[in-house]
Amino acid sequence: MIDALDLSTLSDDQRDALVRLIVTLADSKRLMGIRYSDWTLGAPSIETGVSMASMTQDEWGHARLLYAMLKTLDIDPAPFEYERSGDKFASLSALDREPSDWAAVVALMVLADGALSTMLRSLAQGTLEQARRRVPKMLAEEQYHMSMGSAWYRRLADSGGESRRLLAVATENMLPGLIAWLGVDDAAARSMVAIGVLDSAEDRLALYRDEVREVVALVGWDIDTVLGTSEWDEVRGRAVGRPDEEACERARGDRNRALLVE
Amino acid sequence: MRESVYDVFTRKERGDRLQHVGYVDAFDDETAKVYAWTTYSEEKWFEMCVVKRVNVLPVNRTDGLFVEAQDSSHD
- Asked if residue B75 has pLDDT above 80, the reply is no
Which residue from B3, B25, B30 is facing A147, i.e. has the nearest CB?
B30
Whether A8 maps to a domain, the answer reads no
Query: Using 50, 70 and 90 to split pLDDT, how confident is the model at A239?
Result: very high
Contacts of A144 in chain B (CB under 8 A): 33-34, 37-38
Share above pLDDT 90 across residues of chain A, in percent, rounded to a whole number:
93
Q: Kindly determine whether residue B1 and residue A151, on different chains, have CB atoms separated by under 8 Å.
A: no
Averaged confidence pLDDT in chain A: 95
For residue A210, what pLDDT is reported?
A: 97
Instruction: Say whether residue A53 is in contact with chain B using an 8 A CB cutoff.
Output: yes
Of B65 and A27, which is predicted with more confidence? A27
Chain A nearest-CA residue for B2: A155
What distance in Å separates the CA atoms of residue A56 and residue A51, rounded to the nearest whole number? 8
CATH number of the structural domain spanning residue A189: 1.20.1260.10
* pLDDT on residue A34: 97
Yes or no: domain B4-72 corresponds to CATH 3.30.70: no
Q: pLDDT confidence of A166, banded at 50, 70, 90? A: very high
* Count of domains observed in chain A: 1
The verdict on a CB contact (< 8 Å) between B35 and A54 is: no
For A142, name the nearest residue in chain B, comparing CA atoms only. Answer: B34
The Cα of A151 is separated from the nearest Cα of chain B by a number of Å equal to 6
pLDDT at B11 over 70: yes
Provide the pLDDT for residue A1: 67
pLDDT beyond 90 at A238 = yes
Interface residues on B facing A, Cβ-Cβ cutoff 8 A? 1, 3, 24-28, 30-31, 33-35, 37-39, 41
Asked if the Cβ–Cβ distance from A54 to B41 is below 8 Å, we say yes
Residue A210 CB neighbour total at 10 angstroms = 11
What is the rounded distance in angstroms from the CA atom of residue B65 to the CA atom of residue B21? 15
pTM, two decimals, is 0.91
In a domain, A113, yes or no: yes
For residue A237, give its domain range. Answer: 14-258
Q: Which of A215, A146, A216 is nearest to A176 (CA)?
A: A216
The HSE-up count of residue A50 (CA atoms within 13 Å, CB side) is 18
Is A249 contained in some domain?
Answer: yes
Residue A7, domain member (yes or no): no
Mean pLDDT over A125-140 rounds to: 95
Pairwise CA distance, residues A111 & A211, whole Å: 9
Q: How far apart are CA A2 and CA B24, in angstroms?
A: 44
Average pLDDT, rounded, for chain B: 91
Which of A62, A61, A39 lies closest to A51, judged by CA?
A: A39
Q: For chain B, which residues make up each domain, given as ranges?
A: 4-72
> What SS3 class is residue A94?
helix
Tally C-beta pairs within 8 A across A and B.
Answer: 44
Q: Is residue A241 part of a domain?
A: yes
Work out the number of other CB atoms within 10 angstroms of the CB of residue A155: 17
Among all residues of chain B, which has the CA nearest to that of A52? B38
How far is C-alpha B11 from the geometric centre of its chain's CA atoms?
14
Amino acid at A214: E
Average pLDDT for A28-45: 95
Q: Among residues A53, A159, A175, which one has the least CA distance to residue A110? A: A175
pLDDT at A176: 95
DSSP lists the bridge partners of residue B20 as B9
